[in-house]
């Protein structure tokens, strides 16, 4: 039986998971791919002396690029460079590229798909969104009879783990983050996760496929979870709700409304029960209605399984470009945030309750007050406002008599 | 641009949905398929005079078989014959076949896949399991790095609708069924749905793909929901549970443990919140862990969307057989039901409480009694038993003093 070679770029968590899966599941992989697949070389600058894969390690990308026995390059280095240059060179050399790197795909995906197409190979990235969850391929090959209307979900495992623990254990963001770092659920520099940048890139990628044109992640309203406190979570509890970091993207006339923000969602909302490092993605189509996809959003073997699934698909389709719904010649605008209306849960620090309530009534009209038992503050749910009206009203309220300052505003998801 | 032709077999609910989707979403379909796709002929013996598709209707299958402009046949007639003969002839004539017909796939799937392979065309059946939910294609093309360990889910929309209404409205099976028939959620002859036969065929199909060999649906333990009463549902409520018709299949040494039965499941179980005609399927792999897929399990446009998705995939791959994980040369045995252990919720009609409790204690040992406020009966949850021990113990208990008869035994899903 013919054998095909894989080169791995980056022997970290996911990269070593890919190596392990090829070892432990070689039989079923060979059966499904119809060919033997072997890891031939691994690029990593670190020292792996004594590791069973030691003989495969190289610190020179050219060793992989120039190895004619390597047909597929699996990139798990993270970041845009040098991942982009390596991926581009590999594609130009007639090797398919498979990646779990959302930063790379969100930033240079269209260009790499074009390079793949020009060279009759493939650029695949199932593992870049939703970890192990099959979502890229279902969008590209199953939900094809639909005009997709909306995508919404929990796309970041780290923040979902942190919010789950904050909710269950009543601890602060900083405390839980520290534990998450110790346990390997959060990186030493957690910025990309906790500030929402990671989820932002993922919703941009999913939107590009679902709506059929490149969506620029730079234009997506992105807010992380660093300002979420245990008090916010207690208010949510009072309302029969939890707080989740929700990424959403909705197709409208002329573009998409897309955002990544913490949201107060009802405990009846199906995303409310997605906990720990799990992800879940809802897709709404005009024919299929709502479908949902759920699974591990992170983790060594689950993410690596998605990478290996892509490699198997590539091996089955060797020599032909697999169509994608992402039209690389088309750009889809992210619409002004004022195209979207929101209801906000607002917390206000006060020095005079009667005055503050009068001010709130004056500026926001009828609101629903929420009492979670905290002193010197008022919590309320606003009516529906555009993003900019909300922002203006909060500024005004901050200046009013009786009000010390606006503590927080969290969007409500209905 | 090249144009391809589709012949529709059966112009009922799903068949007319397929026709409608090709009309309403022709633009996006053409873009995704890379070719224009046209419905050329429709086989149905009924009279469609005055219908806009009237000119396409034929009552002679040969008109479709012998039409060289028809490349794909979409079979939505239901039942094994004549669907099988038509599908087989179409494949032999070099036309791919797409179907939503679970009876056909469960009964003759392996043979039709072989015929497709021999003729370099495809036999596709995404719509046969889980309605609109992408599950066949993810199993065949995404979860390929995994040894699949278990599949479990709610696979029948009609019974899930009936159980949802019985639970929400406190009404009897017979009453809700009548309403469901009026509303089109249940067929005039509801046997295949309410007796679990439909779900049984679906779990056999999913098992055949997931575990890589034909699983015979005839061997699967199958129990429907006709014996479920509102009292059972109230007992379940007392236990913090609901009752769902669960199909499951688990890979073990030497075969699979597969069954379709009503189950008492915790309200914390993710399947407990799958309501109405929705379906949900969990897949457990040794690498990806648990993934879940959710969507409309029935309905005209959702099911038709899955059929059209298959047609688009076929058009993109015209002229080549798409690999499937279902090894058609391999049979996988359904293991004796004694390989599976269950915990049962048992209801017993009694004439003497003290005597009956003594008998239960004697036969079942330590059990948990459940009080839902009904007189002259005892409800309890047994320990873990094999299926045949459970059956023997229930027979013995039925003979004991204090006991009139066993009312019901429903499996607990943990």
Structure tokens, A237:
């509890």
Find residue A42's DSSP bridge partners.
A8, A57
CB nearest to A312's CB, from B144, B147, B308:
B144
| Contacting residues of B for A293, CB less than 8 Å apart | 291-294
Backbone torsions φ then ψ of A382, nearest 5 degrees: -80, 170
Of B320, B311, B299, B301, the residue nearest B8 (C-alpha):
B311
Could you read off the pLDDT of B210-255 as tens digits, one per residue? 999 999 999 999 999 999 999 999 999 999 999 999 999 999 999 9
| Contacting residues of B for A291, CB less than 8 Å apart | 132-134, 293-296
Which residue out of B33, B72, B288, B327 would a mutagenesis test of the A interface target, given it has the greatest number of A Cβ atoms within 10 Å? B288
Is the CB of B21 less than 8 angstroms away from the CB of A287?
yes
Is the CB of B134 less than 8 angstroms away from the CB of A146?
no
Model confidence at B1: pLDDT above 70: no
CB nearest to A270's CB, from B31, B144, B273:
B273
Model confidence at B257: pLDDT above 90: yes
Find residue A37's DSSP bridge partners.
A4
**pLDDT classification of B338: cutoffs 50, 70, 90:** confident
**pLDDT classification of B372: cutoffs 50, 70, 90:** very high
Contacts of A234 (CB under 8 A, 6+ apart): A372, A373, A374
| Three-state SS sequence of chain B | CCEEEEEEECCCHHHHHHHHHHHHCHHHHHHHHCCEEEEEEEECCCCCCCCCCHHHEECCHHHHHCCCCEEEEEECCCCCCCHHHHHHHHHHCCCEEEECCHHHHHHHHHHHHHHHHHCCCCEECHHHCCCCCCCHHHHHHHHHHCCEEEEEEECCHHHHHHHHHHHHHCCCHHHHHHHHHHCCCCCCCCHHHHCCHHHHHHHHHHHHHHCCCEECHHHCEECCCCCCCHHHHHHHHHCCEEEEEEEEEEEECCEEEEEEEEEEEECCCHHHHCCCCEEEEEEEECCCEEEEEEEECCCHHHHHHHHHHHHHHHHHCCCCCCCCCCCCCCEECECCHHHCEEEEEEEEEECCHHHHHHHHHHHHCCCEEECCCCCCEEEEEEEEEEHHHHHHHHHHHHHCCCEEEEEEEEEEEC
For residue B275, what is the nearest residue in chain A, using CA coordinates? A270
Calpha distance A400→B100 (Å, rounded):
63
Is the CB of A316 less than 8 angstroms away from the CB of B301?
no
Is the CB of B291 less than 8 angstroms away from the CB of A293?
yes
Could you read off the pLDDT of A116-137 as tens digits, one per residue? 999 999 999 999 999 999 999 9
Task: Supply the Cα-derived Rg of chain B in whole angstroms.
Answer: 23
| Contacting residues of B for A137, CB less than 8 Å apart | 137-138, 141-142
CB-based burial of residue A379 (10 Å sphere; 0-12 exposed, 13-18 middle, 19+ buried)?
buried
pLDDT of residue B270: 86
Question: What is the CB neighbour count within 10 angstroms for residue B376?
Answer: 10
Find residue A249's DSSP bridge partners.
A151, A258
Least confident segment among A36-40, A270-274, A292-296: A270-274
Task: Supply the Cα-derived Rg of chain A in whole angstroms.
Answer: 23
Q: Could you give the residue ranges of the DSSP H alpha helices within A119-169?
A: 136-137, 157-169
Tell me the catalytic residues of A. 202
| Mean pLDDT, chain B, whole residue set | 96
Q: How many angstroms separate the CA of residue A94 from the nearest CA in chain B? A: 22
CB-based burial of residue A329 (10 Å sphere; 0-12 exposed, 13-18 middle, 19+ buried)?
exposed
Model confidence at B311: pLDDT above 70: yes
Is the CB of A25 less than 8 angstroms away from the CB of B146?
yes
CB nearest to A294's CB, from B141, B287, B292:
B292
Calpha distance A269→B277 (Å, rounded):
18
Which residue out of A37, A132, A142, A304 would a mutagenesis test of the B interface target, given it has the greatest number of B Cβ atoms within 10 Å? A142
CB distance B258 to B248 below 8 Å: yes
Contacts of B99 (CB under 8 A, 6+ apart): B74, B75, B76, B83, B87, B105, B123, B124, B125, B127, B128, B307
Residue in the structure block whose two tokens are 């299949």: B249
Which residue out of B152, B287, B297, B300 would a mutagenesis test of the A interface target, given it has the greatest number of A Cβ atoms within 10 Å? B287
* Range A63-67 average pLDDT: 98
CB nearest to A308's CB, from B145, B273, B316:
B145
Of A413, A136, A133, A150, the residue nearest A277 (C-alpha):
A133
**ipTM field:** 0.95
CB nearest to B294's CB, from A31, A287, A292:
A292
Is the CB of A313 less than 8 angstroms away from the CB of B143?
no
Is the CB of A301 less than 8 angstroms away from the CB of B287?
yes
Question: What is the CB neighbour count within 10 angstroms for residue A214?
Answer: 22
| Contacting residues of A for B133, CB less than 8 Å apart | 291
For residue A293, what is the nearest residue in chain B, using CA coordinates? B293
Per DSSP, A244 falls in state E
Per DSSP, A225 falls in state S
Model confidence at A246: pLDDT above 70: yes
CA distances to A39, B97, B250 from A301, rounded to whole Å, are: 16, 36, 21
| Active site annotation includes B41 | no
Contacts of B143 (CB under 8 A, 6+ apart): A134, A305, A309, B210, B283, B285, B288, B291
pLDDT of residue B340: 82
CB distance B98 to B73 below 8 Å: yes
* Range A263-277 average pLDDT: 93
Could you read off the pLDDT of B121-160 as tens digits, one per residue? 999 999 999 999 999 999 999 999 999 999 999 999 999 9
Is the CB of B126 less than 8 angstroms away from the CB of A132?
no
The three-class DSSP label of residue A307 is helix
Model confidence at A1: pLDDT above 70: no
Q: How many angstroms separate the CA of residue A313 from the nearest CA in chain B? A: 6
Of B20, B74, B72, B258, the residue nearest B155 (C-alpha):
B258
B353-364 and B387-399 are packed helices; what angle lies between their axes, rounded to 10 degrees? 150
Q: How many angstroms separate the CA of residue A223 from the nearest CA in chain B? A: 28
| Three-state SS sequence of B169-210 | HCCCHHHHHHHHHHCCCCCCCCHHHHCCHHHHHHHHHHHHHH
The three-class DSSP label of residue A75 is strand
For residue B308, what is the nearest residue in chain A, using CA coordinates? A145
Beta strands A3-9 and A70-75: pairing type?
parallel
pLDDT of residue A249: 98
| Contacting residues of B for A292, CB less than 8 Å apart | 280, 292-295
Q: How many angstroms separate the CA of residue B145 from the nearest CA in chain A? A: 5
For residue B23, what is the nearest residue in chain A, using CA coordinates? A145
Distance of CA B31 to the CA centre of its chain: 32
Chains A and B form CB pairs within 8 A to the count of 173
Of A259, A247, A261, the residue nearest A195 (C-alpha):
A261
| Contacting residues of B for A272, CB less than 8 Å apart | none
CB distance B102 to B207 below 8 Å: no
Q: How many angstroms separate the CA of residue B178 from the nearest CA in chain A? A: 26
Model confidence at B71: pLDDT above 60: yes
pLDDT of residue B3: 86
Could you read off the pLDDT of A141-173 as tens digits, one per residue? 999 999 999 999 999 999 999 999 999 999 999
Question: What is the CB neighbour count within 10 angstroms for residue B323?
Answer: 18
CA distances to B72, B123, B319, B321, B351 from B91, rounded to whole Å, are: 9, 8, 12, 12, 63
Per DSSP, A121 falls in state -
CB nearest to A134's CB, from B21, B31, B143:
B143
Backbone torsions φ then ψ of A52, nearest 5 degrees: -60, -20
| Contacting residues of B for A290, CB less than 8 Å apart | 295-296
- Catalytic-labelled residue, pool B41, B89, B165, B202: B202
Is the CB of B294 less than 8 angstroms away from the CB of A294?
yes
Question: What is the CB neighbour count within 10 angstroms for residue B188?
Answer: 5
Is the CB of B316 less than 8 angstroms away from the CB of A305?
no
A300-316 and A26-33 are packed helices; what angle lies between their axes, rounded to 10 degrees? 30
The three-class DSSP label of residue A414 is coil
* Range A178-186 average pLDDT: 89
The three-class DSSP label of residue A346 is strand
Q: How many angstroms separate the CA of residue B361 from the nearest CA in chain A? A: 38
């Amino acid at each position: 039986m013919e054998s095909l070679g894989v080169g791995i770029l980056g022997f970290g968590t996911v990269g070593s998971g890919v190596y392990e899966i090829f070892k432990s599941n070689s039989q079923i992989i060979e059966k499904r791919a119809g060919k033997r697949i072997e890891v031939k070389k691994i690029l990593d600058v670190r020292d792996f002396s004594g590791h069973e894969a030691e003989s495969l390690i190289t610190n020179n990308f050219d060793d992989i690029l120039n190895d004619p026995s390597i047909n597929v390059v699996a990139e798990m280095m993270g970041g845009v460079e040098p991942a982009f240059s390596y991926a581009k060179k590999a594609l130009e050399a007639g090797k398919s590229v498979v990646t779990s790197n959302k930063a790379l795909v969100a930033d240079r995906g269209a260009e790499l798909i074009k390079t793949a197409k020009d060279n009759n190979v493939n650029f695949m990235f199932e593992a870049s969104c939703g970890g192990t969850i099959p979502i890229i391929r279902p969008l590209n090959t199953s939900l094809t009879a639909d005009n997709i209307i909306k995508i919404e979900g929990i796309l970041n495992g780290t923040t979902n783990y942190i919010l789950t623990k904050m909710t269950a254990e009543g601890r602060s963001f900083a405390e839980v983050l520290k534990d998450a770092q110790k346990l390997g659920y959060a990186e030493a520099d957690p910025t990309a996760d906790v500030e929402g940048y990671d989820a932002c890139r993922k919703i941009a990628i999913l939107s590009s496929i679902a709506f059929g044109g490149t969506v620029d992640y730079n234009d997506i309203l992105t807010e992380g979870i660093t300002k979420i406190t245990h008090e916010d979570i207690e208010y949510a509890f009072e309302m029969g709700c939890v707080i989740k970091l929700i990424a959403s993207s909705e197709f409208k006339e002329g573009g998409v409304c897309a955002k990544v923000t913490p949201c107060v969602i009802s405990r009846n909302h199906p995303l409310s029960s997605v906990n720990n490092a799990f992800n879940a993605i809802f897709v709404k189509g005009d024919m299929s209605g709502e479908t949902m996809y759920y699974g591990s959003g992170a983790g060594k073997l689950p993410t690596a399984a998605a990478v290996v699934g892509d490699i198997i698909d590539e091996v089955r389709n060797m020599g032909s470009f697999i169509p994608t719904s992402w039209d690389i010649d088309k750009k889809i605008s992210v619409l002004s945030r004022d195209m979207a209306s929101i209801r906000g849960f607002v917390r206000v620090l006060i020095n005079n309750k009667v005055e503050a309530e009068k001010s709130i009534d004056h500026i926001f009209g009828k609101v629903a007050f929420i009492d979670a038992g905290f002193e010197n503050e008022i919590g309320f749910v606003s009516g529906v406002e555009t993003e900019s009206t909300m922002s203006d009203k909060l500024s005004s309220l901050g200046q009013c008599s009786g009000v010390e300052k606006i503590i927080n505003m969290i969007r409500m998801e209905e």
